[in-house]
Structure 1
């Protein structure tokens, strides 16, 4: 009895047809997945923008409230309404720190610094620049 080959002509043609179908479906499936991902990203961005929009609308409503305006003016700007006596209490340490900050260090003008560096170089007390040709270990 003759042995039949395991791969017949019909099986080979069927394998080629299955591969062709798989290859023709690969690109559309990839595009479909890519578009689904893009849609999901757009939905997430839309939700983020909508949340920001809602926050801005709430902020707009709040800024139109006269009581909120008065409260904010008093808190942030230390506003004092007509007929009111307002006081700002500062801690003792805070006042000293602000006084220390207000006095900047005395910095000499640029030309004085330049002239002092020229004099130091002339006397030989200035730092010597190292170029690429000189050895650092000298």
Structure 2
């Protein structure tokens, strides 16, 4: 009895045809997927633009309201209508002092501190630093 080969001519042709079909479909499927992704991104962008458009239309309607115009003029421009008494409240002086306190004190550079300590030691006016049990500079 003769053994049949495992890979026949028909099987080889079938494998080549299946590979050719798979390769010919790979690019169109990839393009289809990328186009679907692009469409979904464009839909999201369109929704954002539509929301911005609606906000601008609402702002336009609001700007045509005479009461809103008067209110905005009073707030932004400190407008005072005829017959109204308007007052300007000044900020207290404490606000300026608090800002000055919050600023950190400028620390002199290390070399300036070192030189000042050398000069003080030369004159004998320096103070003695205490570390632990012993006194430095005695």
- Larger C-alpha radius of gyration, 1 or 2? 2
Show CA shifts across 1:45-71 (max 9, x none): 100100000000000000000111111
- CA RMSD after TM alignment: 1.8
Structure 2: state its 5+ residue gaps.
Answer: 101-138
Cα distance in 2 between the residues matched to 1:68 and 1:38: 42
Greater strand proportion:
2
Cα distance in 1 between the residues matched to 2:57 and 2:94: 38
Determine if the alignment matches structure 1 residue 53 to structure 2 residue 53. yes
Alignment of 1:1-138 (within 5 A): 1-93=1-93, 96=96
- The two structures have a TM-score, normalised by structure 2, of 0.66
SS in structure 2 at match of 1:92: coil
Count residues in correspondence.
98
CA gap of 1:39–1:94, structure 2 versus 1, over 3 A, is: farther
SS in structure 1 at match of 2:93: helix
